[in-house]
């Protein structure tokens, strides 16, 4: 019997029954091909439906040819889309899941086109987008009518396909919000003026959708409670809009942020630096002002957080999208009294929205089976049970051990230190990265449930392997800091990031951090030292700080570094140092850059593999290398390789 009584209370909306209050909200997956639903997308959503989610809102479906804001967006502009949606709906309905689809026009928020040319973008007015540097054309009446009809036609097709309803996307500064926002809508016709005039476009859309569907078809509206931008919709403006529209809607779904600016876009998929369940207050305000159900999405990554929001009466449904990407079985586990087994999302953004921004199918660093359901969706027992020894208790080794044991192998994992986690233990020490430690906690629980034997404080060597006589050794011994060759003279203190995080060194007051990877380590070290009272400069070997990070992680971090006043030098290659001077070289011009008055140089120069064990075992036993000992990369590659190697055994 579940103790999450509010989370698993059914909810009825326009005759449809949500079996619980957990929603997978609309999110782009980059999985569709030819702008249509395919088998891979159906398998992706089937995993969440099988996992027990009450409501799935599918990713945006473009309603007009000018709505193609990415090259891989789903389109509902042709009857060819119906069959794919029908198969998807039937698949999810078989598990008792209600299925809606977002219907969408981005207006001026155009990211890319399919042929690499800049698209013509349209908006309420010719007011530019800051983030994508788009100057849109103002819509004329003929095209407004076309787009409104496009919403209706898209909804008709989705209704015909058997979906339960649609969600009109007015969030994140997309086209409906561009009409509502008085700072973007500068028209001189009946679509601008007081609020009621600015709502005319949205009202026409909702009315057209209702006329094109049926009385039992759900129509909701997603809107940003606050666009978190100086030119964006404010909380009071969004609240007034939904209060005026609620009589025409079945629910309102609030999020935060806008696509129009870098700072506002952080809230499209808020990273771990943003507080969990951070829109609960806004949700409560909207809920108290509305007579229809209120949905909220915003870093709700644990069932306990959702239960509390619902118990407080702040919302009726909680969007837990990344939580479901990380653990599709989260609803079933929670409902059956096993909430402690839920693999909690850490909001790293690396493989979900990070993949999307690179045009790749989304996944999860902790659960690489996500997005790969056709390949890894069904765990098959091993044909022959083997004795497997895993050397290394970092993410790669733990994932390999957990999956191999779950398939029926006898698995023993050895870790040289007292703690499991590898570099995760260091990552969690950086500012606003504590949640990253959850990756180790989650993997340890997976191993425990699978029956892996864990031996700590024991380094694997040839003698141990010869004594234990396993059938196979998986080497996951990780990496160590890389110290590049550079000119050194004088007595300047030089240390690496690991020494700083482990507090093995006492640093001088003036510190230069040199960052080769352009990830979160260098900036994190810089921020940590500034907060400890040091004067810090950051030099990055890239065009900008955080160049290799997911965009919203990068931009949130850049904002924090700016507020702290940390000087950042881009295009900077470490060349050398002497008593109190660091010598850099501009990576584009080759010219020297000299920084004086430095007491300590901190190296964030990447890692090199720790790979001696595999050589020791040559000729003794079969060996598989995975993770950083194969090639130093990130936790995503390490965990994925752990899955892949265990899958083949």
Per-residue pLDDT reduced to its tens digit, 235-257: 999 999 999 999 999 999 999 99
How would residue 97 be classed by pLDDT, with cut points 50, 70 and 90? very high
Whole-number pLDDT of residue 43: 98
Two structure tokens written together for 32:
């569709």
Cα 213 to its chain centre, rounded Å, is 34
Residue 383 has pLDDT above 90, yes or no: yes
If you average pLDDT over residues 381-402, what whole number do you get? 98
The sheet carrying 487-488 orders its strands as 487-488, 572-577, 581-586, 592-596
Two structure tokens written together for 435:
């949640």
Q: How far apart are CA 623 and CA 645, in angstroms?
A: 11
Distance set, CA 603 to CA 65, 343, 526, 549, 573 (Å): 50, 34, 11, 19, 12
Question: How many Cβ atoms from other residues are within 10 Å of residue 116's Cβ?
Answer: 7
Q: How far apart are CA 526 and CA 528, in angstroms?
A: 6
Kindly report the backbone phi and psi dihedral angles of residue 508, in degrees, each rounded to the nearest multiple of 5, phi listed first. Answer: -75, 175
Q: What is the pLDDT of residues 583-607, one digit of tens each?
A: 999 999 999 999 999 999 999 999 9
How would residue 71 be classed by pLDDT, with cut points 50, 70 and 90? confident
Residue 114 has pLDDT above 80, yes or no: no
Distance set, CA 186 to CA 122, 180, 182, 603 (Å): 14, 10, 7, 51
If you average pLDDT over residues 448-461, what whole number do you get? 98
Helix (H, G, I), strand (E, B) or coil at 608: strand
Residue 360 has pLDDT above 70, yes or no: yes
CATH code for the structural domain at 487-605: 3.50.50.60
What would the DSSP string read from start to end of 446-509?
Answer: HHHHHT-EEE-S----HHHHHHH--SEEEE---EEE-----EE-TT-EEEEHHHHHTT-S---S
Decide if 195 contacts 203 (C-beta within 8 A): no
Helix (H, G, I), strand (E, B) or coil at 271: coil
- Strand-pairing partners, residue 573, are 585
Report the percentage of the chain scoring pLDDT > 70. Answer: 100
Two structure tokens written together for 33:
């091909």
Residue 23 has pLDDT above 70, yes or no: yes
Two structure tokens written together for 270:
């808020």
Residue 113 has pLDDT above 80, yes or no: no
Whole-number pLDDT of residue 600: 98
Residue 2 has pLDDT above 80, yes or no: no
CB-based burial, 455-493: b 16+ in 10 Å, e otherwise: eeeeebeeebbeeeebebbbbbbbbebbeeebeeeeebe
Does the predicted TM-score (pTM) go above 0.95?
A: yes
Cα 89 to its chain centre, rounded Å, is 25
Report the percentage of the chain scoring pLDDT > 90. Answer: 98
Residue 1 has pLDDT above 70, yes or no: no
What are the structural domain ranges in the chain?
11-375, 381-481+609-648, 487-605
* Helices 395-406, 438-450: inter-axial angle, 10-degree rounding: 20
Q: What is the pLDDT of residues 51-70, one digit of tens each?
A: 999 999 999 999 999 999 98
How would residue 267 be classed by pLDDT, with cut points 50, 70 and 90? very high
How would residue 425 be classed by pLDDT, with cut points 50, 70 and 90? very high
Place of tokens 């209702």: 210
Q: How far apart are CA 95 and CA 480, in angstroms?
A: 47
Kindly report the backbone phi and psi dihedral angles of residue 158, in degrees, each rounded to the nearest multiple of 5, phi listed first. Answer: -65, -40
Two structure tokens written together for 171:
């969030």
- Which H or E element spans position 103? strand 98-104
Q: How far apart are CA 62 and CA 69, in angstroms?
A: 9
Q: What is the pLDDT of residues 501-557, one digit of tens each?
A: 999 999 999 999 999 999 999 999 999 999 999 999 999 999 999 999 999 999 999
Kindly report the backbone phi and psi dihedral angles of residue 191, in degrees, each rounded to the nearest multiple of 5, phi listed first. Answer: -90, 5
CA-CA-CA-CA torsion sign (113, 118, 124, 129): positive
Residue 386 CB burial class (10 angstroms; 0-12, 13-18, ≥19): middle
CATH code for the structural domain at 11-375: 3.20.20.70
Residue 391 has pLDDT above 90, yes or no: yes
Q: What is the pLDDT of residues 181-221, one digit of tens each?
A: 999 999 999 999 999 999 999 999 999 999 999 999 999 99
Q: How far apart are CA 92 and CA 87, in angstroms?
A: 9
Whole-number pLDDT of residue 607: 98
Decide if 109 contacts 260 (C-beta within 8 A): yes
Helix (H, G, I), strand (E, B) or coil at 294: strand
If you average pLDDT over residues 97-103, what whole number do you get? 98
Quote the longest CA-to-CA distance of the chain.
84
Distance set, CA 1 to CA 62, 335, 339 (Å): 42, 7, 12
SS3 content of the chain, % helix, strand, coil (to 5): 35, 20, 45
Helix (H, G, I), strand (E, B) or coil at 411: strand
How many helices (H) does the chain have, and how many strands (E)?
A: 23, 29
Place of tokens 């800091």: 481
Instruction: Single out the residue of 301, 239, 309, 299 nearest to residue 274, CA to CA.
Output: 299
DSSP 8: T
If you average pLDDT over residues 324-343, what whole number do you get? 97
Residues 6+ apart with CB under 8 A from 139: 122, 123, 124, 147
Kindly report the backbone phi and psi dihedral angles of residue 380, in degrees, each rounded to the nearest multiple of 5, phi listed first. Answer: -105, 135
Residue 116 has pLDDT above 80, yes or no: yes
Decide if 412 contacts 390 (C-beta within 8 A): yes
Whole-number pLDDT of residue 117: 87
Residues 6+ apart with CB under 8 A from 11: 17, 18, 21, 54, 293, 316, 317
Classify domain 381-481+609-648 at the CATH class level.
alpha beta
Residue 133 CB burial class (10 angstroms; 0-12, 13-18, ≥19): exposed
Instruction: Single out the residue of 508, 612, 525 nearest to residue 568, CA to CA.
Output: 525
For the chain, the straight-line distance linking the first and the last C-alpha, in angstroms and rounded, comes to 37
């Amino acid at each position: 019997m579940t103790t999450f009584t509010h989370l698993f209370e059914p909810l009825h909306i326009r005759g449809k029954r949500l079996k619980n209050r957990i929603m997978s909200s609309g999110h782009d997956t980059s999985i569709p091909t030819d702008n249509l639903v395919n088998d891979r997308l159906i398998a992706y959503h089937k995993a969440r439906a099988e996992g027990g989610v009450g409501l799935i809102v599918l990713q945006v479906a473009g309603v007009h040819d000018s709505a193609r804001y990415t090259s891989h967006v789903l389109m509902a502009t042709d009857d060819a889309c119906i069959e794919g949606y029908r198969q998807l709906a039937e698949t999810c309905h078989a598990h008792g899941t209600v299925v809606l689809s977002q219907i969408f026009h981005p207006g001026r928020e155009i990211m890319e086109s399919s042929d690499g040319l800049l698209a013509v973008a349209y908006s309420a007015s010719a007011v530019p987008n800051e983030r994508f540097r788009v100057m849109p054309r103002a819509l004329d009446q003929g095209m407004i009518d076309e787009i409104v009809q496009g919403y209706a036609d898209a909804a008709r097709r989705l209704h015909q396909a058997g979906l339960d309803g649609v969600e009109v996307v007015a969030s994140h500064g997309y086209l409906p919000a561009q009409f509502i926002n008085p700072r973007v809508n500068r028209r001189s016709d009946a679509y601008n003026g007081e609020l009621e005039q600015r709502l005319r476009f949205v009202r026409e859309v909702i009315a057209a959708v209702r006329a094109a569907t049926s009385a039992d078809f759900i129509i909701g509206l997603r809107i940003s409670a606050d666009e978190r931008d100086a030119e964006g919709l404010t909380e009071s403006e969004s609240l007034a809009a939904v209060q005026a529209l609620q009589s025409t809607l079945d629910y309102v779904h609030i999020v935060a942020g806008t696509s129009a600016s870098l700072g506002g876009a952080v809230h499209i998929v808020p990273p771990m630096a943003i507080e969990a369940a951070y829109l609960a207050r806004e949700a409560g305000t909207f809920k108290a002002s509305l007579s229809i159900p209120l949905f909220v999405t915003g870093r709700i990554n644990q069932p306990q957080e959702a239960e509390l929001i619902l118990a407080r009466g702040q919302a009726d449904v909680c969007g837990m999208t990344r939580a479901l990407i990380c653990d599709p079985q989260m609803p079933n586990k929670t409902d059956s009294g096993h909430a402690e087994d839920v693999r909690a999302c850490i909001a790293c953004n690396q493989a979900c929205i990070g993949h999307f921004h690179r045009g790749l199918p989304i996944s999860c660093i902790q659960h690489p089976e996500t997005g790969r359901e056709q390949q890894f969706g069904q765990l098959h027992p091993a044909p022959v049970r083997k004795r497997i020894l895993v050397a290394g208790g970092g993410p790669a080794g733990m994932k390999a051990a957990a999956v191999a044991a779950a398939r029926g192998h006898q698995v023993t994992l050895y870790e040289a230190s007292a703690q499991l986690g590898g570099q995760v233990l260091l990552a969690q020490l950086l500012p606003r990265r504590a949640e990253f430690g959850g990756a180790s906690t989650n993997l340890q629980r997976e191993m425990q449930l699978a029956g892996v034997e864990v031996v700590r404080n024991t380094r694997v060597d040839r003698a141990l392997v010869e004594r234990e006589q396993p059938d196979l050794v998986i080497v996951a011994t990780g990496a160590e800091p890389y110290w590049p060759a550079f000119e050194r003279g004088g007595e300047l203190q030089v240390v690496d990031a690991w020494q700083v995080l482990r507090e093995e060194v006492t640093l001088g007051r003036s510190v230069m951090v040199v960052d080769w990877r352009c990830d979160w380590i260098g900036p994190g070290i810089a921020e940590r030292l500034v907060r400890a009272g040091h004067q810090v400069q950051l030099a990055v070997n890239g065009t900008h700080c955080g160049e290799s990070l997911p965009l919203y992680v990068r931009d949130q971090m850049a904002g924090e570094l700016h507020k702290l006043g940390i000087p950042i030098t881009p295009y900077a290659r470490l060349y050398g140092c002497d008593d109190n001077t660091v010598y850099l070289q501009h990576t584009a011009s080759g010219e020297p850059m000299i920084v004086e008055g430095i007491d300590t140089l901190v190296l964030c120069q990447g890692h090199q593999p720790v790979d001696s064990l595999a050589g020791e075992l040559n000729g003794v036993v079969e060996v598989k290398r995975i993770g950083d000992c194969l090639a130093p990369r990130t936790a995503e590659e390490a965990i994925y390789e752990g899955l892949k190697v265990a899958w083949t055994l």
